[in-house]
Chains A and B, each alone.
Chain A
Amino acid sequence: MIENDGQKNGVTAANSVPPANHTKTVGKLFLLTVFMFGFGFALVPLYEVFCEITGINGRTDDSAAVYESVEVDETRTITVDFITRTSTGMPWEFTVDTKRVEVHPGELSQVNFYVRNPARRDIVAQAIPSVSPGSAALYVNKTECFCFQHQPLESGGETLMPMTFFIDPQLPDNITYFTLQYTLFDITERAGETVDVAMNTTLGD
């Protein structure tokens, strides 16, 4: 099956110079490597766009919606539960005045969240919303939300934070019930210098 026939085939000894085509192949593979490294990072924006379109990560829009000529769909009633929690190391008390509301799609309603800072230091918080099931997230429109801004609170301070929302009447029929959860993160350190300014404005009210 096998025989030694090297000379005839023009391939010579081991130590001969590697044919130039190695460089070409290596070049292509190297480009592929670099491309895939870039792709690893590109997954971040891709994931964000994908989630924005599908809502699968449960994020709601982080800017205010406008409530204008929205038709109220009286035939349907949607149950919305609210859950509040704080991330590890975040000392605030965080509650909501209504744990559950029943609303028609298109109807504007307001819920108030209460926070108190029992710690000895001033803290800036950021609330992150999460809707479950995630597919409902696309249809939650907020006209006003404390999650749009950093929330500073001096030591011992307390405040009521309103959130006004309506459900897009386009909400698919199979969703009759969803949960909206807010998690408070302590972002004092990363908020940095802006703290003082913000602190004064809140204390002003």
Chain B
Amino acid sequence: MSTITDTAGNTNEHDHHDDHHHGAPKGIMRWLLTTNHKDIGTLYLWFAFIMFLVGGAMAMVIRAELFQPGLQIVDPNFFNQMTTVHGLIMVFGAVMPAFTGLANWLVPMMIGAPDMALPRMNNWSFWILPFAFLILLASLFMEGGGPSFGWTFYAPLSTTYSSDSTALFVFSVHIMGISSIMGAINVIVTIINMRAPGMTLMKMPMFVWTWLITAFLLIAVMPVLAAAVTMVLTDKYFGTDFFNAAGGGDPVMFQHIFWFFGHPEVYIMILPAFGIISHIIPTFSRKKLFGYASMVYATASIALLSFVVWAHHMFTTGMPVGAELFFMVATMLISVPTGVKVFNWVATMWQGSMTFEIPMLFAISFIVLFTIGGLSGLMLAITPVDFQYHDTYFVVAHFHYVLVTGAVFSIMAAVYYWLPKWTGKMFDIRLAKWHFWCSLVSVNVLFFPMHFVGLAGMPRRIPDYALQFADFNQWISIGGFAFGLSQLIFLALVIKACRKQGEPVTDQVWDGAEGLEWEIPSPAPYHTFDTPPVVR
């Protein structure tokens, strides 16, 4: 295996030299005008990281206010803006762009393509994003404040009762949507048309598969989100009555439309994570992924089922019993393919020669902690139980387990796993260990007690709370500050890595790693697979 790897690697580098050869241009224009998938991947990843820190700073404001009962640091309206913009930034500014960045870097390398199919559109889809978020952030400074209706922008909060800056919110969501749709189209076209000879669909690496399915989800639901924000815009500014009961509309319909987008959206944020974990676990267990085909089918069925469960977010809106039952059962059904995946990862590790490098540590914590989030999801899916849990901190605990220790941990695992391939140098392992252990402990201090205060009845999205929740909230805030600080270690590590400090790595980097991206030189040259490899 390894000899062939070397051959392929060398040949590739060699081609490079004979060819029309240009490396990366220099200066700021390189980044503004780039159509190179690796450059664009890097831009996306840095953007996501910056947004992660900005959204994180907002979470710090939230946790500082909730450190004690009573109102001390910010006024309730500003508090609501913080919860809203924190949610929007983390979902649309951090998690989604990070996955898109990984797709840009990895998909062409994994399928043996020289670049993304539509490089110019790729440049556009990245460069409109910073404007979307500038607009969103700027709205916080307008008179009356920014959006304060929650990331779910339920009508009539976002129509009748919202501030004047709502148009900016709508506009920025439109730009984010256009960016993700263009990104998704690019991924699909690349995967469908540009696979190396011999790479059949069922030979594609799991990350490619999960992204292909995610991209279809994006194209299916981002336009629905666009429709929803457009209706909010016209209801607020142009006198339509989509969601206004007085004029014959229905505010509950907003929730149906939103969650028709919203539930598939949560899978958009987790399917690529499943792909990443399916690469890392086999590498460090030194075994093939257990049940590849079942992984593909499980991913596809999760995606399909995600369209028929949306109303589990609406159990308390007074749906008829039949509908409550349907959505309860459909939701529980999703945990079957999800369970298949967890089973396959565990079976991959079973009797493997496991080692615990940093990416593996993140991947294993992903499996355990994501499963905790899945279980609390299962509890929420039980209709009568949700009547008690809905809109409490229990829900907050649930979605932070699946999103932070799920999606975000998988992104960090991915960065640690592929970073040496990108820079050609091993990252600072000592810092990485600090980052992992600090994050692991603090994230649980932060989110685990939320289950308890939630069960005890503490509502979500409030700046003040009853005295009996004080102790737990203090713990939660301390966990929050610690988790926030831990991410600065990650920042330092990534900066060091980008400056190319560290030990040089081999082409394969990790000795159990398999796949086309490990057969090209480290650091990955600016152009790879100018001539496609043949996969047998």
Contact = CB atoms under 8 A, between A and B. Distances in A.
The reply to whether chain A is a binding partner of chain B is: yes
Interface of A: 1-7, 9, 11-15, 18-19, 21-22, 25-26, 29-30, 32-37, 39-41, 43-44, 47, 51, 54, 56-59, 62, 87, 126, 128, 132-135, 183, 185-187, 190
A7 B516 contact: no
A128 B189 CA distance: 49
Give chain B's interface residue range (CB within 8 Å of chain A). 35 or more
B220 interface: yes
B197 A4 contact: no
Contact of B223 (A3, A39, A183): A39
B220 A36 contact: yes
B193 A1 contact: no
A44 B257 CA distance: 8
B114 A39 contact: no
B533 interface: yes
Contact of A25 (B1, B192, B221): B192
B253 interface: yes
Given A29-B185, A185-B245, A2 B197 contact: no
Could you tell me the dominant secondary structure of chain B's interface residues? helix
A26 B189 contact: yes
Interface string B230-273: 01000000010010011110101100110011000000000000
Given A22-B189, A29-B189, A11 B532 contact: yes
Contacts of B221: 36
Interface string B15-58: 10001100000000000000000000000000000000000000
9 contacts: A4-B11, A4-B533, A6-B533, A29-B185, A36-B220, A36-B222, A43-B253, A44-B231, A134-B319
Contacts of B19: 13
Contacts of B248: 62
B72 interface: no
Contacts of B148: none
Given A4-B15, A21-B193, A56-B319, A126 B118 contact: no
A98 B7 CA distance: 90
Interface string B96-140: 000000000000000000110110000000000000000000000
B227 A2 contact: no
Max count, chain B CB within 10 A of own CB: residue among A37, A62, A135: A37
Contact of B117 (A4, A22, A37, A47): A22
A135 B531 CA distance: 64
A25 B193 contact: yes
A14 B239 contact: no
Nearest to A30: B185
Contact of A133 (B5, B320, B531): B320
Contacts of A9: 197, 532, 534
Contacts of B1: 1
Given A43-B260, A134-B318, A14 B115 contact: yes
A32 B256 CA distance: 21
A87 B245 CA distance: 10
A166 B536 CA distance: 75
A15 B20 CA distance: 10
A6 B253 CA distance: 54
A47 B256 contact: yes
Nearest to B228: A40
Contacts of A2: 4-5, 8, 516, 519, 533-536
A151 to B, nearest CB: 12
- Smallest CB-CB A-B distances: 9 pairs: A40-B227, A6-B531, A185-B246, A14-B114, A37-B223, A36-B223, A40-B224, A5-B534, A9-B197
A14 B21 CA distance: 11
Contacts of A128: 245-246
A78 B247 CA distance: 31
A190 B323 contact: no
Given A2-B4, A43-B260, A11 B535 contact: no
A112 to B, nearest CB: 23
Contacts of A22: 117-118, 189, 193
B193 A57 contact: no
A185 B7 CA distance: 76
Contacts of B242: 44
Given A5-B197, A6-B531, A18 B219 contact: no
A97 B386 CA distance: 37
A85 B188 CA distance: 52
Given A3-B534, A56-B319, A126-B246, A47 B253 contact: yes
Nearest to B260: A43
B410 interface: no
B533 A5 contact: yes
B527 interface: yes
A3 to B, nearest CB: 6
A187 B117 CA distance: 53
A35 B223 CA distance: 8
Given A33-B219, A41-B231, A56-B323, 10 more contacts: A2-B533, A3-B8, A11-B531, A12-B531, A25-B193, A30-B185, A34-B223, A44-B242, A134-B318, A187-B247
